[in-house]
Chains A and B, each alone.
Chain A
């Protein structure tokens, strides 16, 4: 089979695809899945070639449509595998190839139909699939849940991927952690710095520090500095929402200091104290805004208590005023 070459200008995925189609035709007819590995190889190569082809098309100013076409072909392959019988264990691999294509193209909404087939069809028993495919599958579906802000489900899936991932594969572990860490942060679980260093995820270091310290300015700086990267991998919006947790930490610190100075009155925090503290941290917010933030913290169960508008005092509950997030997202 001819291989694509930059010299010839146009790569030859069409011929590759004809080969693929021919193979698929025969594969359907064979009863046993003896050629599964070969089928997978075909699927993988089609995707990689299509990606390369699209890159070359873009460079020569043409419309990159090869990857999309590869996606259509792989859906047919999936169809051939989503049948009763031994062939079905190969379906998850193809599903993952499809995920890679859809994520690359940005058409992640197309993932929905394959996910539905895998998760609801009676043909599949998830436990039957090979581990490496399950890890990849959980990684991608976990990422989708991050987009939908279903943090508890995202946590489950990404943690599964982390637990079952080959411990030697540092780059895969890093990929999973890149998405798992923001999810964990959203539910109040902070990673140790050693973890961030080990997997080279230091873009999260300042964010974690800002949560520990209650330092809003640091959070904003960190988001600004890594904005492009965080937007591109899609975790920016999730991290932005950590703002309220940072405020909460600040209020908690004030509470702790007040408790040391005057324990009987510690549960009452004057609004002016909050405004002054923020000013001292370099953040200018007027009283209305600070009051609003306090109201939001109470509303979202980050703080237990109430705000007395007339006396401008935040009154904390005497029991457990800063309830643990306990895995529940804000």
Chain B
């Protein structure tokens, strides 16, 4: 079966290789079950999308392709690709084509509330939710996240983060850093004289899911301590318990948001450019 690379449409030889719908369906399945990395999958999906567009196929298969691509993009932290797919899906759902429209309503809501500062868009996204959507678990979760962010309730935010349905956690991922920083600013101003690092580890989502495992707790503590130091928090050791504490009064003057030094455009730092060039055919 020919495996097309994503080429500009001007290429005539590409036009001769456009695959029919049943072949595209198989191609989609292959991508879904492939073990290769995101860049490879993205490439394959773009090629499938192009073949669908050229043949003007706008049906449930098209929706499935965009949904699959959107989900992979979310998992890889590729927000711009996700947004492209989301806008196509909004259009296709609007034309009545069946798909996971409730799941994507939730993602859309989270995206608007966490990644854009546009209140009008948020209002209209919320207003356009159907009665059915408001009862859906994934949408309800997204609305609860909105409520937490709106009042600055970091405890609620990280609780919701831990038990996020679908890929809600991927969208929340990109906001975690900001929420943690807001939380630590809040705690530095309001707690006196100190607040235990163990407590911060727990409420700001540094512990792994299985808290009964001591190793997980220790890992979480270490990660939290590193994070706090990287953001200017001043730590002391409690004389009686020997436990690590944040000196809140001193910290409130020294907190800062560091420059992201490992920021990658598509969000997944583990995918290097060389990986793309070396992909298997």
Contacts A231-B126, A237-B150, A296-B151; is A147 near B186 (CB within 8 Å)?
Answer: no
Q: Which of A106, A108, A232, A244 contacts B151 (CB 8 A)?
A: A244
Stretch among A20-28, A114-122, A305-313 lining the B interface: A305-313
Contacts A292-B153, A292-B155; is A298 near B189 (CB within 8 Å)?
Answer: yes
Q: How far is the CA of A298 from the CA of B199 in the complex (A)?
A: 19
Q: Does A14 contact B (CB under 8 A)?
A: no
Q: Does A293 contact B (CB under 8 A)?
A: yes
Q: Does A327 contact B (CB under 8 A)?
A: no
Q: Which of B123, B154, B195 contacts A234 (CB 8 A)?
A: B123
**Beta-carbon contact of B154 and A148 below 8 Å:** no
Q: Which residues of B lie under 8 Å from residue A309 when comparing CB positions?
A: 191, 194-196, 199
Given contacts A292-B155, A295-B186, 11 further A-B contacts (CB under 8 A): A147-B119, A231-B127, A234-B120, A234-B123, A243-B150, A243-B151, A288-B155, A296-B186, A300-B152, A307-B190, A308-B191
**Beta-carbon contact of B151 and A237 below 8 Å:** no
**Beta-carbon contact of A292 and B203 below 8 Å:** yes
Q: Does A289 contact B (CB under 8 A)?
A: yes
CB proximity to A under 8 Å, residues B136-185 = 147, 150-156, 185
CB proximity to A under 8 Å, residues B225-251 = none
Q: Does A240 contact B (CB under 8 A)?
A: yes
Taking Cβ atoms with an 8 Å cutoff, the residues of B that contact A are: 119-120, 122-124, 126-127, 147, 150-156, 185-187, 189-196, 199, 203
Contacts A106-B120, A231-B127; is A241 near B150 (CB within 8 Å)?
Answer: yes
Q: Does A299 contact B (CB under 8 A)?
A: yes
Q: Does A294 contact B (CB under 8 A)?
A: yes
Q: Which residues of B lie under 8 Å from residue A297 when comparing CB positions?
A: 190
Nearest CB of B to A238, in Å: 9
Binary per-residue interface labels of chain A (24-55) against chain B in the complex, 1 for a CB within 8 Å, 0 otherwise: 00000000000000000000000000000000
8 contacts between A and B (CB under 8 A): A108-B120, A234-B120, A291-B155, A296-B153, A299-B186, A300-B152, A309-B191, A309-B199
* B156 closest partner in A (C-beta): A289
**Beta-carbon contact of B156 and A306 below 8 Å:** no
A-B pairs with lowest CB-CB distance, top 9:
A298-B190, A292-B155, A306-B192, A231-B127, A299-B186, A295-B190, A288-B155, A296-B152, A299-B189
**Beta-carbon contact of A232 and B127 below 8 Å:** yes
**Beta-carbon contact of B122 and A237 below 8 Å:** yes
Q: How far is the CA of A299 from the CA of B124 in the complex (A)?
A: 30
Binary per-residue interface labels of chain A (242-268) against chain B in the complex, 1 for a CB within 8 Å, 0 otherwise: 011000000000000000000000000
**Beta-carbon contact of B120 and A299 below 8 Å:** no
Q: Does A149 contact B (CB under 8 A)?
A: yes
Q: Which residues of B lie under 8 Å from residue A106 when comparing CB positions?
A: 120, 124
Q: How far is the CA of A243 from the CA of B190 in the complex (A)?
A: 19
Q: How far is the CA of A144 from the CA of B123 in the complex (A)?
A: 14
**Beta-carbon contact of A294 and B151 below 8 Å:** no
**Beta-carbon contact of A307 and B191 below 8 Å:** yes
**Beta-carbon contact of B119 and A289 below 8 Å:** no
* A243 closest partner in B (C-beta): B151
* A296 closest partner in B (C-beta): B152
